[in-house]
Amino acid sequence: MKTCWRLLKKINSHFPSNKNIVFKSTFCLLFFKFSLTILSFVNFKKLFYSLTQTNILQDYNHNQISEITYAVKVISSHLPFETNCLVQALTTKFLLRHDKNVVLMIGVNIHTGFEAHAWVEKEGIIIIGDASLTHFTPLWDWK
């Protein structure tokens, strides 16, 4: 239990002004990691689709997007298990679901074997998951 509290204190030290984003990011990372583990991808897609449907539209500015992506990256690095690019991209897309210009992309690299990668873009600019994408061919965009 002491380890959990130390971890939370360490994460919170990165976000002195916005504790809400820490909670939301942590919960989403854990929820999506767990859901991807126990559900088939078809069922997960249905669940994620239902969670991201909204009638509220908002255009997030650069600072808001940076704060959310920073939170997802920092919290991912402090969790006791790995959160891959898909879990981080799903979390980011969910937290920015009110912005219809934010798109989750899934692509593959077949040049050096088969490798998949997920990232999130807004108006063609990558906001999270910015591994060298020159070799990845987008297969699917999740709006």
137 forms beta bridges with 108
Residue 16: CB atoms within 10 Å: 7
Supply the mean pLDDT for the chain.
Answer: 85
Domain residue limits, the chain: 2-142
**What's the rounded Cα separation, in Å, for the pair 91 and 101?**
16
Q: What is the pLDDT of residue 20?
A: 85
pLDDT in tens, 81-105: 888 999 999 999 999 999 999 999 9
Q: What is the pLDDT of residue 4?
A: 58
